[in-house]
Amino acid sequence: MVPLQWFIWLSVALFMVGVFGFLTRRSIIMMFLSIEVMLNAVNLSLVSFAHFLNDLRGEVLALFVIAVAASEAAIGLAILIALFRNRETAQIDEVKELKG
């Protein structure tokens, strides 16, 4: 049997891969993909807690996280399309009008 600790460590490592991608990539599409990785890491920890605590509420919460992730991706990509139409760029460091 695999202990709960291993699942938490895997979830932490996956979350950190997402944090690294979010902070370092220039492309906004890749930043959104990093957010998806982070949300999946959280889902993994929720599902493993639900399994090891014999409580299905963790899985219900993971379902809500998936719903929020879907709407976040739709809104974020629509904003990206609007930005690309106005600025012809999807690189995060070329959008700097508010720089003081």
Single residue of 10, 97, 98, 100 touching another protein by CB under 8 A: 10
Nearer to another protein, 72 or 100 (CB): 72
Partners of residue 2 on adjacent β-strands? none
Partners of residue 91 on adjacent β-strands? 27
**CA–CA gap between residue 91 and residue 88 (Å, rounded):** 9
Which residues within the stretch 22-81 sit at the binding site for another protein (CB under 8 A)?
22-27, 29-30, 32-34, 36-37, 40, 43-44, 47-57, 59-60, 62-64, 66-75, 77-81
Output the smallest distance, CB 46 to another protein, in A. Answer: 9
DSSP 88: S
Nearest Cα to Cα of residue 62 among 48, 82, 80: 48
Nearer to another protein, 85 or 99 (CB): 85
